[in-house]
Homo-oligomer: A and B are copies of this chain.
């Protein structure tokens, strides 16, 4: 079918075939409207026939626009991030950008590599969606004039936009929900406390517990690492306490899945013996056994907000926007939360409709 273009077909080949100059080819290919419609058509046809693909590198080199947005995530094997990546890519493609993914795996060296790659490849903006990253590195990108958006405290970084996540709202709803159906002994398994966002979630949990006037004993707060293994280990600790919790709130869904595994492994029933609440609402949360009650943080919200901030910066690099927006979270009640066994009213089904915590029922 297509004849082998052993001579790599470049813009010159197309120009010759269409009988125009390379400048015209360039203009036509880039949809510049001032090109004569007739010529443009001829160029397009020639390009088609030769199976021409513009060399992105050359284009980026001369134009200074790479057409890429960098996206730095923590680790790709935590399902939350692929979902984020997908959302991000969808939005980016819609606006004519490609994305360049970097994952830090929580390692300082990989973080450096990520940043270096982003700079080298001349991305036009970087979204740091890693929930905690070395500020110096981010600063480096800012200094190089690359628009940056990250998740974190407002204005933590001069010259970078930031996104806040309303951890408090979701955690508050979760604790309220548990309290209403009779739980008081509520434990929390956090993320790695080196991460700012993990600390924020933990703090939000404790504030929520204060608001129901229930102090949290220190052994009820355990540091996890946002993995299933961490959740498993945390739950094992919690379950070997003399005074066991009747509910465990987790810093993310992977942790919750680990807890579910540990609890079931001991022959305990969820939610009868123990309630579990996750955080993120990854797709799989709907399919655990039983389906996971969790706090949703919509990754499409994150993706859209991040891209908005970035593209605004790119458009008006002078008057930096330094956008700041709040990403909402909210409780999704499924079936890992219910009345504690000791509670007067004995029920198997979760108490979704009864709580006053305005939970949203699952899809």
Which residues of A line the B interface, CB within 8 A? 1-2, 4-6, 51, 53-58, 60-61, 66, 76-77, 79, 81-83, 85-86, 89, 98, 101, 103, 116-117, 119-122, 136, 140, 143-145, 228, 232, 257-258, 260-261, 264, 283-284, 286-291
Pair B57/A61 contact, Cβ less than 8 Å:
yes
- Supposing A55-B61, A257-B287 touch, asked if A76 and B82 sit within 8 A by C-beta, the answer is yes
* Cβ distance A27 to chain B, nearest Cβ, rounded Å: 19
CB nearest to A262 among chain B residues: B287
CB nearest to A58 among chain B residues: B61
Residue from B55, B81, B286 within 8 A of A120 (CB atoms): B55
As for how many copies of this chain the complex holds, the number is 2
Complex contacts, A51 vs chain B, CB 8 Å:
140
Pair B5/A144 contact, Cβ less than 8 Å:
yes
Pair A66/B77 contact, Cβ less than 8 Å:
no
Complex contacts, A103 vs chain B, CB 8 Å:
89
Complex contacts, A144 vs chain B, CB 8 Å:
5
Complex contacts, A83 vs chain B, CB 8 Å:
77
Add 16 more A-B contacts to A2-B140, A261-B286 (CB < 8 A). Answer: A5-B144, A6-B145, A51-B140, A53-B120, A55-B122, A58-B61, A76-B85, A79-B82, A98-B117, A257-B287, A260-B287, A261-B287, A261-B288, A264-B289, A264-B290, A288-B289
Residue from B119, B136, B232 within 8 A of A53 (CB atoms): B119
CB nearest to A261 among chain B residues: B287
Pair B54/A57 contact, Cβ less than 8 Å:
no
Complex contacts, A291 vs chain B, CB 8 Å:
261
How far is B55's CA from A288's CA once the two chains are assembled, in angstroms? 46
